[in-house]
Amino acid sequence: MKKLLFILLGVITLCNVSFASFPVKDVQIVELSVEEDSSDNSIWTKMIEKPSKFHLGGFIAGFFLGLTGVGLVYLLNKDPDARRSAWYGLGVIFVLFLILISWLVYNFSNIDGNSYYYY
């Protein structure tokens, strides 16, 4: 019975012809070409040559205020180094939170199968 049902379902889906309920216009094919930029203004040379600086205010905002601090840095400061440092602060607090959670799970897990700790 299952085989007959699957065969019937396959025949119906393969033979069914459906049309779009909206008009489909001709699609234009656009070719994109990538040209190498030999000038010094390309994004790759800016990323490689420009060293990033650490911004303590952005880091503190991201560390103590979390995602709210990152948002405040984005609203109040246009410096990309401060924005990057705010993300670093949020990342550090996230890693510390994961370490704390893993430590709590390790210490309070029931390793030996007993429901109580006997000291």
105 vs 27, which has greater pLDDT? Answer: 105
Q: So where are the chain's domains? A: 53-108
pTM of the model: 0.52
- Residue 109 pLDDT greater than 60, yes or no: yes
Amino acid at 72: L
Query: Lowest-confidence range among 26-30, 41-45, 80-84, 89-93?
Result: 41-45
CB atoms within 10 A of CB 102: 10
Which residue shows structure tokens 């065969």?
A: 7
pLDDT of residue 8: 72
Predicted confidence (pLDDT) per residue in 47-87, tens digit: 565 667 888 999 999 999 999 999 999 999 988 899 999 99
Region 99-116 average pLDDT:
76
Q: How far apart are CA 7 and CA 12, in angstroms?
A: 9
